[in-house]
Structure 1
């Protein structure tokens, strides 16, 4: 293909010149269609833009009646243009009028044109409009011409996405790329975040980097980057720590298969030779692929979309030389982080003082990234499909962590409504603050200790601010996850000492390292497992690596010199594991005593009840421990055999189902009989209905997120123990009305 302007490379260079001219958006579009028509030797070139109301509007044309611009519209799916938009694929016809989808628009004067080539204007797989060329002669456009028009459409996509066309749009008919988007997902962490989007894995390049100065050089860059990507994947798969089978290896194998696909590399190289930069070519090919796969009905094909997205992101990082994750100095003051998936450590890489919200496609209410988000006080919502591709960096966004609602580019009235809601929440928090020094008890005087969960230095001020009865769970692994290398004993001791200082005379329960599974330490070699949640983690890791556990116990004991130290072990599955862990503690105390170190004034050892097997050794366990704590997150997932990190099954179990209520009742009764303190420290205790249910089952100590303490205290002070116990007893018998009544009790207390 070669027209009057010398082919696609020349066209792209001229388009770049037009894009840089200080003229209006309409003037740019008018010049662009003239350039394309001349280059394609086409008698017509038209640009249709998808509007917020779902209509496709003619925005510019060369060859059709100019009076039809901004007057001709068609529905998505109507006519050939609408069909291109709906299918997100090119249509190439030598006799357009004979096609059954042809729709005649008399005001355009297009009845004299027979050949038709329409390509979708795509960005991140989303259709923004349609670009069309037409000729009077009956002809079928060549593959090279189709490719050239698709490449040109990418430039128009950037122009539409930039928001330039909004200035020439009628109110209510703005381009759809900037339309408000409302979606409801699963609420994970309470709160309301108002801010601007930051993409955890940025996927697009800057507009000025779309068009290549030297296509041959760009082709070499692309070839080199693809080869580096292939080599890196081969190296990953050959490393010892990558298991010979399992989900992680399957993902890497899929990456390698796609990376070695000649068609993928060929399409990117063709886009480069058309005049795009290597980065733009990757984005162009992935956008086309994404558009097709999003419309696939086969769930397997749609699942592979994420693999291809990840692979494209890996290639872009090779090309640009940048790492994934937060870039220094790029976060706005009020940031809403949007991600497909995210590890807990990755979230901790971001500046917490700037984060207002998190929207993550794949996470469950008790996944570890959710726990970290909740600990940081970040409003979090999940289960909004494809959200990372529907937003652009910098988009205004509102995240409602209490309802699961997410608003992208919200209208002013919605923004004002949420601003009012934030002020209302602030007033409610002020009411909770007024209760800080009031006793935590039911209306009829039954005390219920409300302690807080923590794990970072930023959590410590909340002990005093909330009036918490202490720290019922301090997750020591968070310090290890945020550190670039293994924290030294002195660093650990300083943290534990600071925690005890912040708590004053209030109790603190330190949990030894709970790593493994999805909590990976970045500086330690990982072991791929078929099911990490049931694998080498928590106390199993500590007993197999006693040096790490001993150094942690030593740091805690030294930090607690002359004070009380409460320490508990996670994921105990049999009493002998507790005995083995206790022996390690005794050895460390003996070591410190031998070398003249002051020991804790009082030492209390406990175990977490979160593995079902331990339920059948409760009597033996309670005879040996000083206290127990229920980790409801793990206990519930193990009881239901449903991985809490798997979004497909995360909602398939009922934390307040009859079986779970009976399990909680069994543990509470056993602890009361043995006269040993018992606390619940999982997510269930932080929820109003969950807290009420636990109190009704006999629990008098809960360890919850700091943001929940005020609301739970206010709720308990509005409720009577007799009513709670009666309702929960009925729930244990499977009464649905009783469950509804418990929810109403929680809601009524919150409104008072």
Structure 2
């Protein structure tokens, strides 16, 4: 047992190395991901990167349990996007669980049962049956409009990143794809995706979406999403989350962005194209990113290529500084989307990959809600089309708070569409807005508990 956290971290690295050496000397050259899972499996690990998770067969991977991890870590976001249950912050789980142990995972209750007895299995099966009934009820909502009791229509889109994700549009009845993470293609590839490969993916996605809009976010790499074949930096960053990542990399390595811009424009020939730039801190960054696309548009136009019917350019508000420039940005952008995952860590100066900070700050805090309410009001005054595409919008109580402070567009995981639609159809927005304004005027110590109590009294469907 090592108490020093730094030495403990190094011991984890040695364990990983030892496991790899054991596989090699035993003739097992690949990992579980590369060799394929032979049966339904729950993966137990200290931590996991987004690229590593994407290597696993999603048909066989039934759950992930991590000693570290956090609610807003990219691996958690990607797992939820793939509809894979994930549980983080499970201390010493690798010392408790043995290879081939029978496990029951209930992420709704933050519970992991190791080597369960018969009564535990029966109780778990009853919970699964109840969950299935809820899902069936949500499926019945697929063709119903997400309209509040007082008649406000809420726009519900889904987040996606893989070709197969687009099928969820029809299954959920969502209004479109509010965030297509183009970096997924880069994360699962062994080498830099070619322009033709990118073009095929984007064209397939647009064709599958039909007349529903798709918002493509330009490649967001770096930080906790490194590419093994692409070095964004010449040096090791002390704080990658606030470093050389996302659009900052794209503008410096403009060949990367030019290739993607051309692929997107060609893929959207004869269609409407929606482009969103991540990690914008100041308006000039948006201008430079848009210029890359406009230059490629001119290149294709001069060669008489078929072009998109129209191109809409948007920005992600993740860096708080951009909120102070909305008046300068309003005439430049066609839409704005708030990424609550990164925004939260920047507002609180809390690295979301740090396990000690993972549960320290709550989305339903006065600081975040007041900040978001101010942005929503200013965007409305400036006529900016505003949405939320972070994990916050996919949790019924948190989504209720977002609607109450002025948001009318949410982009969430496909699995969240049913619960969020049920919540939307059960609330009166006028009442919810008045209630939350009162709560934020004199915030209680536990805002989440107070809002939950109000929602239960109003019979709001929180799933």
| TM-score normalised per structure 1 | 0.59
Deviation of the 1:448 alpha carbon? 0.8
Counterpart for residue 117 of structure 2: 411
CA–CA distance in structure 2, aligned partners of residues 476 and 746 of structure 1? 37
The reply on whether 1:743 has 2:449 as its aligned counterpart is no
Equivalent pairs, count: 458
The reply on whether 1:424 has 2:142 as its aligned counterpart is no
Partner SS, residue 70 of structure 2: coil
Counterpart for residue 71 of structure 2: 365
CA–CA distance in structure 1, aligned partners of residues 387 and 353 of structure 2? 24
Counterpart for residue 723 of structure 1: 431
Deviation of the 1:731 alpha carbon? 2.9
CA–CA distance in structure 1, aligned partners of residues 313 and 288 of structure 2? 13
Q: Are 1:607 and 1:628, in contact at CA under 8 Å, matched by a contact in 2?
A: yes
Q: How does 1:134-283 map to 2 (within 5 A)?
A: none
Q: How does 1:183-582 map to 2 (within 5 A)?
A: 293=1, 296-299=2-5, 301-317=7-23, 319-320=25-26, 322-323=28-29, 325-326=31-32, 331-525=37-231, 527=233, 528-582=236-290
CA–CA distance in structure 1, aligned partners of residues 55 and 5 of structure 2? 33
Q: Are 1:715 and 1:746, in contact at CA under 8 Å, matched by a contact in 2?
A: no
Aligned with residue 296 of structure 2, among 573, 582, 588: 588
CA distance 1:387–1:685, change in 2 (3 Å):
same
CA distance 1:324–1:365, change in 2 (3 Å):
farther
Q: How does 1:668-679 map to 2 (within 5 A)?
A: 668-679=376-387
Q: Are 2:419 and 2:462, in contact at CA under 8 Å, matched by a contact in 1?
A: no
Q: Are 1:688 and 1:746, in contact at CA under 8 Å, matched by a contact in 2?
A: no
Aligned with residue 653 of structure 1, among 339, 361, 364: 361
Deviation of the 1:317 alpha carbon? 4.7
Counterpart for residue 116 of structure 1: none
Partner SS, residue 399 of structure 1: strand
Partner SS, residue 270 of structure 2: coil
Counterpart for residue 697 of structure 1: 405
CA–CA distance in structure 1, aligned partners of residues 124 and 306 of structure 2? 54
Deviation of the 1:553 alpha carbon? 1.1
Partner SS, residue 749 of structure 1: coil
Deviation of the 1:458 alpha carbon? 2.1
Deviation of the 1:301 alpha carbon? 5.0
Q: Are 2:103 and 2:113, in contact at CA under 8 Å, matched by a contact in 1?
A: yes
Q: Deviations over 1:448-504 (max 9, x none)?
A: 111100000121111010000110000000011101111111111111112112221
Counterpart for residue 81 of structure 1: none
CA–CA distance in structure 1, aligned partners of residues 128 and 7 of structure 2? 41
Q: Are 2:67 and 2:88, in contact at CA under 8 Å, matched by a contact in 1?
A: yes
CA distance 1:424–1:580, change in 2 (3 Å):
same
Deviation of the 1:360 alpha carbon? 1.0
Q: Are 1:463 and 1:502, in contact at CA under 8 Å, matched by a contact in 2?
A: no
Counterpart for residue 288 of structure 1: none
Counterpart for residue 324 of structure 2: 616
Structure with higher Rg: it is 1
- Between stretches 544-553 and 650-659, larger displacement belongs to 650-659
Deviation of the 1:306 alpha carbon? 2.0
Deviation of the 1:525 alpha carbon? 2.8
Deviation of the 1:321 alpha carbon? 5.7
Q: Are 2:33 and 2:56, in contact at CA under 8 Å, matched by a contact in 1?
A: no
Q: Are 1:380 and 1:400, in contact at CA under 8 Å, matched by a contact in 2?
A: no
Q: Are 1:469 and 1:506, in contact at CA under 8 Å, matched by a contact in 2?
A: yes
Structure 2: 5+ residue stretches without partners: none
CA–CA distance in structure 2, aligned partners of residues 323 and 653 of structure 1? 42
Partner SS, residue 32 of structure 2: coil
- Between stretches 521-530 and 394-403, larger displacement belongs to 521-530
CA distance 1:300–1:549, change in 2 (3 Å):
closer
CA distance 1:552–1:444, change in 2 (3 Å):
same
Deviation of the 1:330 alpha carbon? 5.8
CA–CA distance in structure 1, aligned partners of residues 291 and 187 of structure 2? 26
Deviation of the 1:309 alpha carbon? 2.0
Q: Are 1:727 and 1:739, in contact at CA under 8 Å, matched by a contact in 2?
A: no
Partner SS, residue 259 of structure 2: helix
Deviation of the 1:392 alpha carbon? 1.8
Structure 1: 5+ residue stretches without partners: 1-292
Deviation of the 1:530 alpha carbon? 1.1
CA–CA distance in structure 1, aligned partners of residues 205 and 8 of structure 2? 47
CA–CA distance in structure 1, aligned partners of residues 7 and 339 of structure 2? 37
Structure with higher RCO (Cα < 8 A, 6+ apart)? 2
CA distance 1:641–1:324, change in 2 (3 Å):
farther
Alignment root-mean-square deviation, CA: 1.9
CA–CA distance in structure 2, aligned partners of residues 729 and 464 of structure 1? 36
CA distance 1:299–1:645, change in 2 (3 Å):
closer
Q: Are 1:727 and 1:741, in contact at CA under 8 Å, matched by a contact in 2?
A: no
CA–CA distance in structure 1, aligned partners of residues 276 and 76 of structure 2? 22
Deviation of the 1:350 alpha carbon? 0.7
